[in-house]
Structure 1
Amino acid sequence: MFTGIVRGLGKVVKILKEKKISQWEVETSNELVKNLMLGASISCNGCCLTVRNIFRTIFCVDIVEETLRSTSLNTIIVGQYINLERSIKFGEEVGGHLVSGHIITTGVVSDKKELFSNQELWISLSASFFIKYFFYKGFVCVDGISLTIGSIKNNAFCVFLIPETILRTTIGQKIIGDVVNIEIDFYTQITVDSVERLLKVHPSKFINCIDI
């Protein structure tokens, strides 16, 4: 589990593709790799990956074909920076919201506006089906960053980026057409799915509950 609070950036220094797997080497800060263990989970642009090897400030991860196909990691090239977060420990502050690192879909940056030192970013979902899980002021995780939904229109939503987020993550450098990873809020998904099932199986009982 993660919190959506990016702890640092990593530079992809090597990508080795072998059959149905891609091996990455990511260079980051001493602080972020301190006490990092083999087999540990680490969020890379929102994707939960497993640390396979560590050498000084470089860690290695394996990315399977399915992950590459269903996320924006297939757009990353050597030299590019990604958002990183270590897995949360019990007792730590949850500054964002709980996220699993399991990407539900991707989105495309469709509009970007500069608002003084802030940014307004519009993202169109690649699969419009998932827009039902988006609510005004709800949570969303974009490339591993916990953000608040500012507005929703058709199959797109917007987030507002403060200077701190722009400075400490890669999202401020996104341009129109860039692909990003999207993880919806787990609790919102459970609530929406539960209500849909109840409406489908017992519509009259649901209406009676509302009347009460």
Structure 2
Amino acid sequence: MFTGIVEEIGRMRRVTKQGQAMMLTIEADKVLDDVKLGDSISVNGVCLTVVQFDDAAFTVDVMPETFRKTTLSRLTPGARVNLERAMQANGRFGGHIVQGHVDTPGTIVSRRAEDNAVVFRIEPDDPSPMKYVIRHGSITIDGISLTVVDVEERSFTVSIIPHTLAQTILQHKQPGDSVNLEFDLLGKYIDRLLDFRGRGGESTAGRPGTGVTMEFLAENGFV
């Protein structure tokens, strides 16, 4: 689990591809302070497992599912990436609950300055998770915990303060660039629970007209 507070920007030292499998070696500093084999590190919002490390870099495996569903497949040597170690049990939630499980890549459709901030409009490649995006809710972009400013049918905006821009790879992102998107976990759980009738464990997912209704609540003593 992560919080979406990027600790540092790493640099790709080596990218090795074999079909849709990859090994990434990333130069870093802060995230190596107490690293151990098997540790989880978020790389551009993707939770990956450390399989090798030295005093200047660490290596992670990328499986085909992650290759297909994230922007990691587009990384090349020299590319910059956002890095965050998994949260410790006694840590602070500076952002929000982030799993490091990307829902879909998205495309930056616009970038504009607004006084001291920079406003990005982003369109998910897969529009179906847009139901989880709410105004002033949380979203993770390339591993960064951000607050949604505005929502349209197929896109949303976030406003970036100077500190966040300077400390993350968003400083280099321009219209047309791709980013990893993870939508708020709470919304996904609520959506799933509301789509589960709970009678004998029978799932109603994907069946129209099912789920929690006023009749169901009345029948079960909730209203």
Q: What aligned pairs does 1:1-212 form with structure 2 within 5 A after superposition?
A: 1-29=1-29, 31-197=30-196, 200-205=210-215
For the 8 Å contact 2:194–2:211, the answer to whether it is kept is: no
For the 8 Å contact 1:161–1:172, the answer to whether it is kept is: no
Residues 196 and 57 of structure 1, relative CA distance in 2, 3 Å threshold: same
Q: Distance in 2 between matches of 1:55 and 1:190?
A: 38
Q: Which runs of 5+ in 2 are unaligned?
A: 198-208
Q: Deviations over 1:27-51 (max 9, x none)?
A: 011x320110011000000000000
Q: Distance in 2 between matches of 1:7 and 1:202?
A: 41
For the 8 Å contact 1:25–1:58, the answer to whether it is kept is: yes
- The one-letter amino acid paired with 1:191 is I
**The residue matched to 1:90 in structure 2 has which SS?**
coil
TM-score, reference length from structure 2? 0.88
For the 8 Å contact 2:50–2:59, the answer to whether it is kept is: yes
Deviation at 1:197, TM superposition (A): 4.3
Q: Deviations over 1:164-197 (max 9, x none)?
A: 1001001122111111101111111111333344
Structure ranking higher in helix proportion: 1
Larger Rg, first or second structure (1 or 2): 2
For the 8 Å contact 1:71–1:103, the answer to whether it is kept is: yes
Moved more, 94-103 or 12-21: 12-21
**The residue matched to 2:72 in structure 1 has which SS?**
helix
Deviation at 1:203, TM superposition (A): 2.5
Q: How many residues align?
A: 210
Q: Distance in 2 between matches of 1:167 and 1:206?
A: 51
Q: Distance in 2 between matches of 1:53 and 1:202?
A: 48
For the 8 Å contact 1:2–1:100, the answer to whether it is kept is: yes
For the 8 Å contact 2:194–2:212, the answer to whether it is kept is: no
- The one-letter amino acid paired with 2:210 is K
TM-score, reference length from structure 1? 0.93
